[in-house]
Amino acid sequence: MNTPSTPHQVGLKDWAALLLLTVLWGSAFAFIKHGVQTLPPGALIFVRLSLAALALTIWAHARGRRLPPLSDRRWLWMAGLGLFGNALPFFLVSWSQQFIDSALAGILVSTMPLATIGLAHIFVPGERMTLRAVLGLVVGFAGVILLLGPSALAGLGGADTLAQLAIIGAAVCYAINAIQARLLPETPPSVSAAGMLIMATIFALPLGIWDLMQVENVAGSAWASAAWLALGPTAFASVILMQVARTAGPNFLAIANYLTPIAALLTGLLIGETIGWTVALALAVILSGVWLARGGRRID
């Protein structure tokens, strides 16, 4: 089981997968907001992860894929993926949003690509840091600030510094996860994603069970939100994540973090929220940053 070589030249298939991943992740915000109204964050995370793990395990087996034996060292990798890609950042984001606005949280978590490019430069062959890539990521980050509203930065620092650091910690977790997904020994994406979610479920189990024991009168729509979060933004998205990270590389995968807020706002538009003209301008800035980060390459 060898780690794959340098990522291939990014093409239309990779961009299509990235955009699908962006839509799936972007849709999650509205469903999380609805779900936590009657289902505590710990319970929602546990239900989301456990249903996703079950669905992917069944799907992998239906396709003739089998999880590795417990003695296989890939379980250590999948434990790391489950911790840094799901359980820990899910908790950090949920906890911090009790104290800070979602707009500021969205800006802070968008530091993930900047962390990814630094880690990839050190740990991933073929993912060298360049001045143009860094400039592109900074421009993309500026676009996210414009998209979510510069006024959101007014709350930076102050009494909620710990919550803000928790969001940045979640961003670093996602960066570590992208690196781990790239370096994972050769494993089918459906199997690695299922293993990752199984381990994430184990990490989320104690708090999840505790929260579930405390809840009363959970709305049916909250359970429906948890089901979609499990199947779409978690199970299906995890398979795409593992595939994109291994073929196109973590720096390419990190671009989704700039595009996801756009998908989130468009999802909000579909459910009746209003969107200002700044969205179009922010989209142009973000896409300019993406183009720079990719070295001004055309799509093959």
Q: Nearest-CA neighbor of 148 among 241, 17, 258?
A: 258
The Cα 296–Cα 288 span in angstroms is 9
Mean pLDDT (the chain) is: 81
Q: Nearest-CA neighbor of 233 among 117, 93, 124?
A: 93
State which amino acid sits at residue 192: S
Q: What is the pLDDT of residues 53-88, one digit of tens each?
A: 999 999 999 999 999 999 999 999 999 999 999 999
At 208 the pLDDT is 93
**Cβ atoms of residues 39 and 229 within 8 Å:** no
pLDDT band at 168 (very low <50, low <70, confident <90, very high): confident
At how many degrees (to 10) do helices 189-214 and 237-247 cross?
140
State both tokens at 292. Answer: 């720079």
Query: In angstroms, how far is CA 38 from the centroid of its own chain?
Result: 24
- Minimum mean pLDDT range among 105-114, 178-187, 229-238, 282-291: 282-291
The Cα 84–Cα 98 span in angstroms is 21
Percent of the chain at pLDDT exceeding 70? 82
State both tokens at 276. Answer: 């200002």
Q: Nearest-CA neighbor of 36 among 95, 110, 99, 100?
A: 95
State which amino acid sits at residue 267: T
**Cβ atoms of residues 225 and 216 within 8 Å:** no
Vertex 210: Cα angle to 204 and 213 (nearest 5) = 130
* DSSP code string of 266-295: HHHHHTT----THHHHHHHHHHHHHHHHTT
What pTM value is reported for the model? 0.79
State both tokens at 120. Answer: 């990839």
The Cα 281–Cα 198 span in angstroms is 41
